[in-house]
Structure 1
Amino acid sequence: MTELLAALLLGIIEGITEFLPISSTGHLLIAERWLGHRSDLFNISIQAGAILAVVLIYRQRLWDLAMGFLGKRAMAEHSPAGMPMDAAEARDYAFKLAAAFGITAVLGVIVKKLGFELPDEVTPIAWALVIGGVWMIAAEHFAAKRAAVLGERAKITWTVAILVGIAQVVAGVFPGTSRSGATIFVALLAGTTSRAAATEFAFLVGIPTMFAATGYELIDVIHSGEAANEDWAALAVAFVASAITAFISVKWLLRYIQSHRFTAFAIYRFILGAALLFLVPTGS
């Protein structure tokens, strides 16, 4: 397989899996065993492509939040979750996004300094996929029961914001967990019974989180001199592929969750996790 084709496939995998609750890290680690290991700069770049796609999708939402936060005007546009806001609500929402990101940033730096991370092996990824599937079904079950009693709640509380920040760190430590999955379902368990509202908050807080993580890793790559040996053509192909497929997959997901639960993703995680445990029993 040529380098460009391998880069294209890795970019597509990243774009599809980054924001779906099925773990992009887990899929990339598995795919690299067939397509070859890539540099840190390559992995950073394809992640940046996926972030760019989400920024484009939420560009109006981000602009309205900024304007509402500054008190310049009320938010006239509806978000993908269907939540128009006035200036006061926009400021409150923005502060909660900032709090979730701040918690992730502080805890993430602490975890990084302590050097705590799991080895990039198949077995822990497989178990994370299976356990994450159980977590998803349980979260939606309890959210549905709560919604039946109290009605659908789209409001993001401070408890939700804090727990989402912690969930992002947990997802970063455990490959296969899925950052989007961890944050969406902790929001559902913590009281936001609307799938659309929980997903939107998870995606919006993921933008500064992933930009910060990308920048942090990029500084390390530049200082180490790895960039000098990079295959820039392959990197460019992967970046574009990641951005395009992420845009398509996120737009599809936002429509899908309007009328469907996340059960199909949980089943996929069960099947993939079980297959990995069965086919690669040594975890090599």
Structure 2
Amino acid sequence: MNFLQALILAIIEGLTEFLPVSSTGHMIIGSSVMGIASDPFVKLFTICIQLGAILSVVVLYFKRFFKSINFYIKLIVAFIPAAIFGVLLSDKIDAMLESPLTVGISLVVGGVILLFVDKWFNNPTINEEPEINYLTALKIGFFQCLAMIPGVSRSGASIVGGMSQKLSRKVAAEFSFFLAVPTMFAATGKKLLDFYKDGHTISTEQMQILAFGNIVAFIVALLAIKSFIGYLNKNGFKIFGWYRIIVGLVIIALLLSGHELSII
């Protein structure tokens, strides 16, 4: 992996991490097109740069993270399902990360759901984050686990989960952002540990690429979050649903026609 490839993947991450379109799925496709998807360091990179994007949440919502202990307890409760299933299903998740077909199918299925989610959950009763109780947080955490399937979208799964629990679109999206912080810290830590356990090491150049990728993802994500919240409040999820369906069908068609989604 070189710096140009890192730049491309980091921009993809920053733009898609908080959209319900699957940042991991897009990075899998991006790395496959560039012919680097099977490289162990690239797999590490695609997980670790999500941390840079997630840190933009802490910056943009700085006051929320120092408001109350109850806020942190809810995040921990919501994080528990991902922590458990992430450990239990680690090997299967890693295997799916190399499958563009899984991404394509997940994009289509998730897209169909997004076309109708605004109609299904159109009577919210929770309009502020403090109104979320522990049981609701836990249920949202289980929805987030669906994103362990590449292409599902962590933000999409947790936002839909929040809306199913009577959260408004805005509150569901923001809680999804907050929940990403402990989730991605843990995912990054585990991926680094597994990387070293498998006998790999990180060179000085790779450290520089990781740092570069996180900085780019952080900057791009800062711009993407505000735009997404504003658009979501006014227009809902339909455009994201159609986008997922189109991209997913293109991926599936290319794969079924014999294309390997690789330029080398």
1:56 to 56, 59, 77: 59
**Could you tell me whether the CA contact under 8 Å between 2:75 and 2:182 is conserved in 1?**
no
* Aligned CA distance change for structure 1 residues 128 and 215 (closer, same or farther; 3 Å): same
**Residue 195 in structure 1 maps to residue 169 in structure 2:** yes
Q: How does 1:114-153 map to 2 (within 5 A)?
A: 115-117=91-93, 119=96, 120-144=98-122, 146-147=123-124, 153=127
Q: Which runs of 5+ in 1 are unaligned?
A: 70-90
Question: Do the aligned partners of 1:20 and 1:253 also contact (CA within 8 Å) in 2?
Answer: yes
TM-superposition CA deviations, 1:211-266 (whole Å, max 9, x none): 01111111222343321375344333322211111111112112222222011111
**1:87-128 CA deviation, whole Å, 9 max, x = no partner?**
xxxx2x44322211122212222222xx33353222221110
- Aligned counterpart, 2:194: 220
Q: Counterpart of 2:184? A: 210
Give the Cα separation in 2 of the matches to 1:24 and 1:251: 17
Instruction: Report % sequence identity.
Output: 35
> 3-state DSSP class of the match of 1:259?
helix
Cα distance in 2 for partners of 1:164, 1:191 equals 11
Counterpart-to-counterpart distance in 2, 1:47 and 1:153: 28
Query: How far 1:159 moved relative to its partner?
Result: 4.2
Gaps of 5+ in 2: none
Residue 245 of structure 2 corresponds to 270
2:103 is equivalent to residue 104 of structure 1: no
Instruction: Tell me, yes or no, if the aligned pair for 1:127 and 1:273 is still in contact at 8 Å.
Output: yes
Q: Which residue of 1 aligns with 2:48?
A: 45
| Residue correspondences, number | 250
2:171 matches 1:168: no
The alignment's C-alpha RMSD in Å is 2.2
For residue 9 of structure 1, what is the aligned residue in structure 2?
Answer: 8
Residue 83 of structure 1 corresponds to which residue in structure 2? none
AA aligned opposite 1:208: P
Which range is displaced more, 36-45 or 183-192?
36-45
Shift of 1:153: 4.7
CA distance in structure 1 between the aligned counterparts of 2:103 and 2:239, rounded to whole angstroms:
19
The Cα shift of 1:134 comes to: 1.6
> Equivalent residue for 1:78?
none
1:54-93 CA distances to partner (integer Å, 9 max, x unpaired)?
22112111111xxx32xxxxxxxxxxxxxxxxxxxxx2x4
CA deviation string 1:147-168 (max 9, x = no partner)? 4xxx665442444312221122
Partner of 2:209: 234
| Structure 2: distance between partners of 1:17 and 1:270 | 16
Please, what TM-score do these two structures have when normalized by structure 1?
0.80
Contact 2:126–2:132, Cα closer than 8 Å, also in 1:
no
C-alpha contact 2:126 2:166 (8 A) present in aligned 1: no
Question: Quick check: 1:139–1:186 contact (8 Å CA) kept in 2?
Answer: no
Report what 2:160 is aligned to: 185
Normalising by the residue count of structure 2, what TM-score does the alignment of the two structures yield?
Answer: 0.86
